[in-house]
Structure 1
Amino acid sequence: MTEKTILVMGGAHVDRRGRIAGETAPGASNPGSWFVEAGGGAFNAARNLARLGHAVRLVSPRGGDADGDIVAAAAEAAGVEDTPFVFLDRATPSYTAIIERDGNLVIALADMELYRLFSPRRLQQRAMREAMAAAGLMLTDANLPADTLSTMSRIAKAAAVPLAGIAISPAKVVRFRESLDALAFLFMNEAEARALTGEDAQNPADWPKILRATGLSAGVVTRGGRGVIAFDETQAASVVPPAIPELGDVTGAGDSLASGFLGAVLGGAGITEALRYGVAAATITVRSPLAVAEEMSQAALAAALSLVPQVEILS
């Protein structure tokens, strides 16, 4: 039986990161270098899932410019079926960051206005309704407007198609508030979990209970190198990522974790096994200088999985 397509709808834009070479001099010209690559939480996850062998289709707004060409080329390189809706007179969304020599963010500018045009009406078009009904999984992120996410969640629930979400940032994760009861999974870090719930878990093991109280039935909370927590309606588990001797760049680690986790779930894994696969995928990404590691594959995932400890079941 042919695997159903994973339909990804969300952020697909261009990331520009400028790294200062020496000590940061505010208000002055700083020597450094630029790095440009395609990005966006949903798009990063889509490319990882495609590199892991899944059939993936991307739907996202795009401008008729050179940045749009960068996104299209990245989709093609990863094997993602790219079906954007293009606004020829608009700019493709972009994220531009200035980073200090030690990796700390100085300032960033997110030009994401085009995502506002991914309105609920787009989801009502016949081609979109057919694509959502035929999908084996839908994946989105909080780059899209709240009313679009809410409409998407209702359609997914009615069609009995699981919908997973990626939080993106503390400011954006709140766009999922009206959709939480319809999400199969939500992937977030602790700052995003705090923004979503208005609470702070004094004990990380409390996150499942706090998040379930919002209506979310299952999710994953990342805590950097201190551990990752996954939960569903009946259980919760935690695992500490393996130490990485030489970090490349942590950009995209959470998106790849979502990819490894969801890929395992599609293969029939429960949350404890899926959590290990997610951490293994993130391990591959943080060893790479890219947000989506070119070496991501099932073989690489299996090798990385051997480094991931067994999970701890939380009471």
Structure 2
Amino acid sequence: MTDRVVSIFGGAHVDRRARIAGTTAPGASNPGTWFEEAGGGGFNAARNLARLGLEARMISPRGGDTAGETVTLAAEHAGVIDRPFIFLDRKTPSYTAILENDGNLVIALADMDLYRLFSPRRLQQRVMRETLSESDLIVTDANLPAETIAALIRKAASESKITAGIAISPAKVARFSACLANIGFLFMNEAEARALTEANTEDAAQWPAILRAAGLSGGVITRGGKPAIAFKGDRIVTVSPPALDRLGDVTGAGDALAAGFLSALLDGQPLETCLRTGVAAAVITVGSPLAVSEKMSREAIAEVIGLVPSAEILS
């Protein structure tokens, strides 16, 4: 266990996922199954961080409906300290995804208007100032408005807090553009990196230089089954994910990778160990039908990390 405090801002809502039973037939009715659980990039990361022994605090807008109660119960179950802004007359945001039989995403719809009400002014409230002051690490996903993200990251950086961002999607990652210089690590996939930088490269090793030129000092770029890349300053490492016989569901894998990486970072581990720990956390997650695996723990990561290849140092 650790006494480190992590405060996570952003998405805590309901995820609805449909999985197609056979081969995907676009433009037609597809047989499959339907599943619903609490989700959100920030909330997935928070629950993983709590399961890894950190004091994880979740700050997010929420509606006064049954979906909001689902999120509240999920936070309690995972050991997350839940600090929502509740709007009784609004509905809790939701994310609806259609997955192929192998777990990969076909299409998704995000109904998240409520997050627009989390304005920078809320960060001035006493409870928010105290939360920032007490935290060792501040994490935000891109579900919040760009001006709120910028105000939060800049405030945290001014207090010498470690900061991190989760890109969420190519459409939302640009919300980090105004505060890239103050983000310790930004977690994204290649599509999000392209959207952020307007660059397109076939050579994955070029991403650190491209992102540094955009103003980012540290980041992690995931690439599906291909090697993930992490950089901080001039240091660059890659880690290949182990081959898996079958994926349970890729939903939440990137959020788990961020949580595993950040937990190792708070433990003082070097960049290559942080990335291997993140990949191990993602492996645990894709082996589960849930966005946050019930098996996530430090003990599980210690067991699975033996399957993760050693990091390759590129710098």
TM over 0.5: yes
The offset of 1:8, in angstroms, is 0.6
Q: Which amino acid aligns with 1:115?
A: Y
Count of matched residue pairs? 315
Within a 5 Å distance, the mapping from 1:59-138 to structure 2 comes to: 59-103=59-103, 105-138=105-138
1:238 corresponds to: 238
Is 1:149 aligned to 2:149, yes or no? Answer: yes
> How far apart, in 2, do the equivalents of 1:220 and 1:119 lie?
27
2:169 corresponds to: 169
Is 1:280 aligned to 2:301, yes or no? Answer: no
1:95-147 per-residue CA deviation (whole Å, 9 max, x = no partner) reads 11233445454543211000001110111111101110110100110001000
Q: Which amino acid aligns with 2:253?
A: A
2:139 corresponds to: 139
1:127-174 per-residue CA deviation (whole Å, 9 max, x = no partner) reads 101110110100110001000011011111111111100000001000
The offset of 1:214, in angstroms, is 1.0
Structure 1 residues not aligned, in runs of 5+: none
Q: Which amino acid aligns with 2:66?
A: A
Q: Which amino acid aligns with 1:74?
A: A
TM-score scaled by structure 2? Answer: 0.96
Distance change >3 Å, CA 280–CA 217, structure 1 → 2: same
Distance change >3 Å, CA 273–CA 23, structure 1 → 2: closer
1:32-51 per-residue CA deviation (whole Å, 9 max, x = no partner) reads 32100111111000000000
Q: Which amino acid aligns with 1:65?
A: D
1:254-303 per-residue CA deviation (whole Å, 9 max, x = no partner) reads 10000010000000012111111111111111111111000000110100
1:198 corresponds to: 198
Contact 1:42 1:255 in 2 (8 A): yes
Contact 1:256 1:278 in 2 (8 A): yes
2:289 corresponds to: 289
Q: Which amino acid aligns with 2:214?
A: T
Within a 5 Å distance, the mapping from 1:291-306 to structure 2 comes to: 291-306=291-306
The offset of 1:246, in angstroms, is 2.4
Structure 2 residues not aligned, in runs of 5+: none
Contact 1:13 1:67 in 2 (8 A): yes
1:71-92 per-residue CA deviation (whole Å, 9 max, x = no partner) reads 1111111100001010011000
Identity %: 64
3-state SS in 1 of match to 2:225: coil
The offset of 1:5, in angstroms, is 1.4
Distance change >3 Å, CA 183–CA 65, structure 1 → 2: same
2:208 corresponds to: 208
Contact 2:230 2:275 in 1 (8 A): yes
1:35-71 per-residue CA deviation (whole Å, 9 max, x = no partner) reads 0011111100000000011111111000011100111
Q: Which amino acid aligns with 1:172?
A: K
Within a 5 Å distance, the mapping from 1:15-34 to structure 2 comes to: 15-22=15-22, 30-34=30-34
TM-score scaled by structure 1? Answer: 0.96
Contact 1:3 1:55 in 2 (8 A): yes
